[in-house]
């Protein structure tokens, strides 16, 4: 996981629990607010969408762009965070 942010490492280091959506790498207060408004208030809800999209990076990035106007870097960071979490815990 070299080259990942501290936020990413913190997220992947422990079980999901009830973490807020803003704990995901690539998701700050602005994107977090947009995701919450769309019904994705917790990290595990975004994980559910990630799994529904079969961990497909392109589909997930397109979904994030549509739902919360995420940039390609933000959605890529979020995808990588969830993907690494899944490798660790699923």
Residue found by looking up tokens 């422990």 in the block: 14
The domains of the chain, with CATH numbers, are 6-89 (1.10.150.40)
Residue 46 · residue 21 · CB < 8 Å? yes
Residue 34 · residue 67 · CB < 8 Å? yes
pLDDT in tens, 16-75: 999 999 999 999 999 999 999 999 999 999 999 999 999 999 999 999 999 999 999 999
Q: Residue 3 to residues 6, 16, 40: CA-CA distances in angstroms?
A: 9, 22, 27
- For the whole model, what pTM was predicted? 0.95
Nearest 5°: the CA angle 34, 16, 42 is: 20
Q: For residues 53 and 18, give the distance between their C-alpha atoms in angstroms, rounded to a whole number.
A: 21
């Amino acid at each position: 996981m070299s080259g990942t942010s501290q936020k990413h490492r913190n997220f992947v280091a422990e079980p999901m629990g009830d973490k807020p959506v803003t704990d995901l790498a690539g998701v700050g207060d602005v994107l977090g607010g947009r995701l919450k408004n769309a019904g994705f208030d917790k990290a595990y809800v975004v994980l559910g969408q990630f799994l529904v999209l079969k961990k497909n990076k392109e589909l997930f990035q397109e979904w994030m762009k549509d739902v919360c106007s995420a940039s390609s870097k933000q959605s890529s960071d979020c995808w990588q965070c969830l993907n690494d979490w899944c490798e660790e815990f699923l």
